[in-house]
Amino acid sequence: MTTPTDHPAPSPASVARSTSQPPGPSAAQDRLDRRRALTGGITGYFVDQFDIYVPVIALAPAMAYFIPAGLDAGTATIIGAFIFTATLIGRPLGAMIFGLVADRTGRRRATIIAMAGIAVTTFLIALLPGYSTLGVWAVALLIVLRMLDGVFLGGEYTAAIPLAMEWSPQHRRGLASGWITMSAPLALALISLMTLGLLQVFPSGSAESAYAVWGWRIPFVIGALLAVATLYYFVKYVPESEGGQSTTAPAARVSPLRELFLGAQRSSLLQVFVLMTGVWVVLNLTVSVVPGLAQAAGGLSATQLTVALSIASMISAVTYPPAGILSQRIGRRPFYIGAGLLVAVVGGGTVAVLARSEGLGFWPTTALLSVAFTVGILAFGPIAAYMTERFPAALRATGYGIGYSLALVVPAFFAYYLLGLEAFVGTELAPAVLFTLGGLLTVVGAWLGPETRDVDMSL
């Protein structure tokens, strides 16, 4: 069912300002500010995604450096998974903290604080000694720093993306969203290729190997330097948005958390929670399960799989801006209903083919992997526009950040859902069925929500 939007459509005056502003120094400065805010949103989100994937890809071959020798494989796997989970736990907390900061003191200030935190924590991780020096405290410090890093990462996109969207003209918000979010698969591809290259230079294996002692630190140092560069850019060039300025006025202040969980916006938060839960379920399967299915189906080596994943990631990345444009043409609500159905039918079918195939070879496997990646994460194209349009300016950052991050919790246990489904459909088909269910959940979430593409972001 369709419900009315929770904040007003653009006024005639605001539409006139956005479409017929007379040329001159003020208009030129506005265009420059819009470009700078969008560039800040793109680079900030790239840093966020780079930092998210670093421990999953670059640190995995060096885990022997942080754990005792002879530890059984199951326990080592649990520790490695918890390092990633610690980041996910920190993200909703960061969204809540920095959402309040952004809605009370401005998006720009919150972004600067969060980006500084990312730079410091990522660099500190790069300096960590291993188990031979600190014992179990080595991995404990790594987990604590990753959780703290997750808090700052959650704060970065909670503040920077509303800032970029509030600067974007209404008719370009879909495209702007696509440019921002396409940095996620590009970051994944970059880290994969970087790790592959480092492993060719630094041998890996034991805790004393060159990669375990030094090689893994390089991506973390690069991540810290990227955060510093983005921090400088925000401090030097990115202005506060009109929406961010309006929320700092005492008369306009509301309690964002009260409004989201107990007030008029609770139905909006529930609706985006449903939609994003479906989106995150599919994403988790795409990046965590589908690569393993592809490797088995194609008989790929670890190196071949890395190359195939990089190709699939880059192909999926170029679909984000067109997806944003399409959502601007047909509307966000129809887009997400269609995207969810595409995931359920095409995505689920592709995953089923990968799960039941053998000896496909490199290129057929890469083609199927690219289809699964493109369909599985297509929903992220216009997500920055849709999620920020869904909440009014007074609590936009908090609503966006919590709606985006809180929905991570249920999908985080996807491995248990797969085990449950295996009892009904078997091991081969369980990932495809869960993939389809995630797509259908996205459809339900979109159907429950309103159309948002024409809302006035200054309100």
Residues near 409 by beta carbon (within 8 Å), at least 6 away in sequence: 92
Mean per-residue pLDDT pooled into runs of 10, the chain (459 residues): 45 41 69 95 95 86 85 74 82 94 94 97 95 90 94 95 95 96 90 90 86 93 97 96 66 77 94 97 92 94 89 93 97 98 97 95 96 94 97 94 91 88 92 97 98 91
Q: pLDDT of 378-418, one tens digit each?
A: 999 999 999 999 999 999 999 999 999 999 888 988 888 99
What pLDDT is stored for residue 1 in this prediction?
43
Domain boundaries, the chain: 32-239, 253-459
Q: Does the reported pTM lie above 0.85? A: yes
**CATH for the stretch 32-239:** 1.20.1250.20
Q: What is the pLDDT of residue 250?
A: 52
CATH hierarchy code of domain 253-459: 1.20.1250.20
How many Cβ atoms sit within 10 Å of the Cβ of residue 202? 18
Q: What is the pLDDT of residue 63?
A: 87
- Structure confidence at residue 431 (pLDDT): 95
- SS3 at position 390: coil
Report pLDDT for 45. Answer: 95
Do the domains spanning 32-239 and 253-459 agree at the CATH topology level?
A: yes
DSSP result, 429-459: THHHHHHHHHHHHHHHHHHHSPP-TT--TT-
Gap between the Cα atoms of 383 and 129, Å rounded: 39
Residue 127: count other Cβ atoms within 10 Å of its Cβ. 11
Q: Answer yes or no: are the C-beta atoms of 224 and 122 closer than 8 Å.
A: yes
State how far the Cα of 296 lies from the Cα of 292, in Å rounded to an integer. 6
